[in-house]
């Protein structure tokens, strides 16, 4: 019975964590470029139970031989192994704002090992000098004329340098060329990841690579086809209706485990207070 407590408790914890993940997705449903997390649920390894027994042989001196009887498998519970972002392209929303940019994955090679398609990202830099990557193209120009994200990260060009502009009167071409007047002043640093699931998700819609290894320039990858659209934002790829349905399912699963736990508790109370009473 005590094993049942552990199994039910693990089920409640996993559904609680799944609900927290879904709630975070829902709260970012209107965040530009946000990639929804998906839960990966796994069961703990099952335990095979044996019962120790013995048999007697009809000999002059009785000989007892031990042996095991298989009882069966015991499930040891479930846990949420990890959360994996979905890099599916979000819908485009037209804003008409010069500083809004959207990246569009047109034709991406498929990773042979994972079977997933690659994706492109804007390259940004924080105050610590580390490169990060994002799909949130809601940009601004700070007081020093540098192109930044709304959270203050510097947007980098293809050479890894910060982009400084005289004003927000510029145009962005399909491959990220920034033109002021008739002159191309910079090209956006757009990185390509052939396996986006290797990226580590951070806050503010940012991703980092393992070991902070820079992503290759998407413009130099011959089989990568993408486009940059000015005056548009990529919306979050959160499916609000499905997320609400999943939240209700997770809540009901949590509630079902809770009722089983209460039944175990009542049984233990009865065993301690009634069956085990000495008259």
Tell me how many domains the chain contains: 2
pLDDT tens for each residue of the chain, 279 residues long: 566 777 888 888 899 999 999 999 999 999 999 999 998 877 766 666 666 776 666 666 666 667 677 766 666 778 787 888 999 999 999 999 999 999 999 988 888 777 888 999 999 998 888 999 999 999 999 988 999 998 889 999 999 999 998 877 899 999 999 998 888 999 999 999 999 988 999 888 899 998 889 999 999 888 899 999 999 999 999 999 999 999 999 999 999 988 988 888 888 887 777 765 655
Beta carbons of 26 and 240 less than 8 angstroms apart: yes
Question: Which residues are registered as beta bridge partners of 120?
Answer: 192
Residues 141 and 179 in one domain: yes
Whether pTM exceeds 0.85: no
Residues 219 and 98 in one domain: yes
Residues 228 and 92 in one domain: yes
Cα–Cα distance, 11 to 23 (Å, whole number) = 18
Residues 193 and 255 in one domain: no
Closest CA to 90 of 139, 19, 148, 29: 29
Beta carbons of 240 and 29 less than 8 angstroms apart: yes
Residues 108 and 77 in one domain: no
Residues 73 and 98 in one domain: no
Residues 79 and 92 in one domain: no
Cα–Cα distance, 91 to 149 (Å, whole number) = 20
- DSSP β-ladder status, 63-74 and 47-57: antiparallel
Residues 229 and 93 in one domain: yes
Given this model, what pLDDT does residue 126 score? Answer: 87
Residues 212 and 170 in one domain: yes
Look up the domain containing 106 and give its range: 88-234
Question: For 105-131, b where at least 16 C-beta lie within 10 A, e where not — what string?
Answer: beebeebeeeeebbbbbbbbbbeeeeb
Residues 36 and 127 in one domain: no
Given this model, what pLDDT does residue 247 score? Answer: 93
């Amino acid at each position: 019975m005590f094993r049942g407590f552990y199994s039910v408790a693990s089920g409640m914890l996993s559904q609680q964590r799944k609900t927290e993940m879904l709630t975070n997705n829902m709260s970012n449903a209107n965040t530009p470029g946000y990639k929804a997390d998906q839960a990966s649920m796994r069961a703990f390894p099952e335990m095979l139970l044996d019962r120790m027994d013995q048999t007697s042989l009809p000999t002059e001196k009785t000989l007892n031989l031990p042996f095991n009887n298989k009882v069966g498998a015991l499930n040891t519970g479930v846990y949420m192994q990890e959360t994996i972002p979905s890099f599916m392209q979000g819908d485009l929303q037209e804003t008409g704002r010069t500083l809004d940019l959207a990246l569009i994955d047109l034709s991406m090679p498929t990773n042979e090992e994972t079977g997933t398609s690659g994706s492109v990202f804007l390259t940004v830099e924080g105050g610590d000098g580390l490169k990060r990557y994002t799909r949130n193209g809601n940009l601004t120009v700070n007081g020093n004329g540098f192109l930044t994200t709304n959270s203050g990260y510097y947007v980098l060009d293809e050479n890894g340098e910060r982009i400084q502009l005289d004003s927000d009167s510029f145009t962005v071409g399909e491959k990220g060329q920034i033109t002021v007047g008739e002159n191309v002043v910079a090209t956006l640093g757009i990185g390509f990841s052939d396996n986006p699931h290797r990226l580590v998700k951070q806050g503010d819609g940012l991703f980092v690579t393992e070991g902070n290894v820079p992503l290759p320039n998407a413009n130099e990858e011959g089989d990568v086809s993408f486009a940059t659209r000015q005056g548009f934002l990529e919306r979050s790829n959160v499916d609000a209706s499905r997320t609400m349905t999943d939240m209700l399912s997770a809540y009901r699963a949590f509630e079902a485990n809770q009722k089983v736990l209460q039944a175990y508790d009542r049984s233990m109370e009865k065993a301690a207070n009634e069956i085990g009473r000495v008259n």
